[in-house]
Amino acid sequence: MERRDYRHATIAVSMCIALMSVSVGNAHHSRSAFNLDATIMIDGTVTEVGWTNPHYYLGVRDETTGQTQEWTFEGHSIPGLVRNGWSRSTLAVGSRVSLVANPNSDPEVLFGLLNHVTRRDGKTFYSFRPTDEMLQMQKPPLAPSTDFTGTWRIIRSLRSNLVGGFEPPTDWPLTDLAHEEVARFDVNDDPSLSCEARGVPRMLSWPYSQKWINQGADLFVTLEHAVEERTLFDEKTVMIPKSSHDLGQSRILSRTDTELVVETRGFSPKFWGLTRGVSSGIAKVVTEKYELVEDGYRLKLTLTLADPLSLSEPVTDTLYYAKVHDFDFAAEPSCDVGTAKRHLEFERG
């Protein structure tokens, strides 16, 4: 088998990882309202800078055609933008900019997905990839993980991240009760639009970075752009404390240098606690089998879900994560419900 060398990431690889790890099916909301195959170019004046959680919003008065139009653009999250070279002061109300965006599928709706914006000083900032200067910076060699610790990010394509995975599963063995729930599905009922935490297992497909550290015999996991903080307790722990945010009580069943098995029980009932459109009950059991693969530069997760409330038999899925350089997660304001639901203002019908 060919041995891959991940230690010296090139600019092309850095761009690829940036584009593959933006926002997956468990992201805040789908971008299917935008035409991702088309772009518009606008020259105008900034009227709003929304350094807000869960998304950045930019208002621009379009003066391209001489006919003034007020546009709103949705950008990445604050942590995503900070990783890509932005700061709170990158743009200011009243400044002149040129920008490129994906327009709304309805041409009458002046709401777009921000691609990149260029200031009058010539510097360009991108929503979903780092600045050119950042891409050209030489990073230290990326060290593999030998014990599951480090910073990991899920691997998926940008298009799938933006518009995929926002419907209930069609191939799960659902109970009659779950089928009835799926029949009532409305994507805008997602609890994340009310700033509720996703919990386990939904947090496992979170598009942002996860930081794993050892705490004695336990593993402690924090998520970028999320409130969940999770402890995977050693198998010898007698009493596992109850957790918040529907994280359950996670116990390490076995751990070797390359394989980690975790079982989580002790959940409360949760609306959409298994996935979008499918709720969970107190008997939910989540089993995670992690394997260090590709010399410790990738992490494979085999995820098994059991819940008699909604599943007639267990279901299994497989996820992969890429090892990335450690970094400090960006500070951001608390999630704002108005901002979380702002995209709904632009929906018709």
Mean pLDDT of 35-49: 95
Return the residue matching tokens 């107190």: 282
CA distance 293 to 197: 30
Average pLDDT value for the chain: 90
What is the pLDDT at residue 31?
A: 73
Domains of the chain, by residue range, sit at 31-136, 150-324
Residue pair 241/248 in contact (Cβ under 8 Å)? The answer is no
- Checking if the pLDDT of 322 tops 90, the result is yes
Is pLDDT of 25 > 70? no
| pLDDT per position as a tens digit, 217-234 | 999 999 999 999 999 999
pLDDT tier, 27 (very low <50, low <70, confident <90, very high otherwise): low
Please write the tens of the pLDDT for every residue from 82-110: 999 999 999 999 999 999 999 999 999 99
Assess contact for 275 and 166: CB atoms under 8 A. Answer: no
Residue with tokens 């003034």: 68
Distances from the Cα of 113 to the Cαs of 31, 88, 223, in angstroms? 8, 19, 25
Q: Binning pLDDT at 50, 70 and 90, where does residue 29 land? A: low
- What pLDDT score was predicted for residue 3? 39
What pLDDT digit, counting tens, does each position of 266-281 carry? 999 999 999 999 999 9
Q: What is the pLDDT of residue 125?
A: 98
pLDDT at 28: 56
Domain 150-324, second-level architecture: Beta Barrel (2.40)
Domain 31-136 CATH assignment equals 3.40.190.10: no
pLDDT over 70 at 34, yes or no: yes
Q: What is the pLDDT of residue 50?
A: 96
Buried b (16+ CB within 10 A) or exposed e, 311-331: beeebeeebebbbbeeeebbe
Q: Do domains 31-136 and 150-324 have the same CATH topology?
A: no
In this structure, how many other beta carbons lie within 10 angstroms of the beta carbon of residue 296?
18
Q: What is the mean pLDDT of residues 48-63?
A: 95
Q: pLDDT category, 15, cuts 50, 70, 90?
A: very low
- Global pTM reads 0.89
Nearest to 298 by CA among 83, 17, 24, 79: 17
Query: What Å distances lie between residue 10 and 80, 82, 142, 152, 288, CA to CA?
Result: 20, 21, 11, 18, 32
Q: What ranges make up the beta strands (E) of the chain?
A: 40-50, 57-62, 69-74, 96-102, 111-119, 124-126, 150-154, 210-215, 218-223, 229-233, 249-255, 259-265, 270-275, 278-280, 285-293, 298-306, 315-324
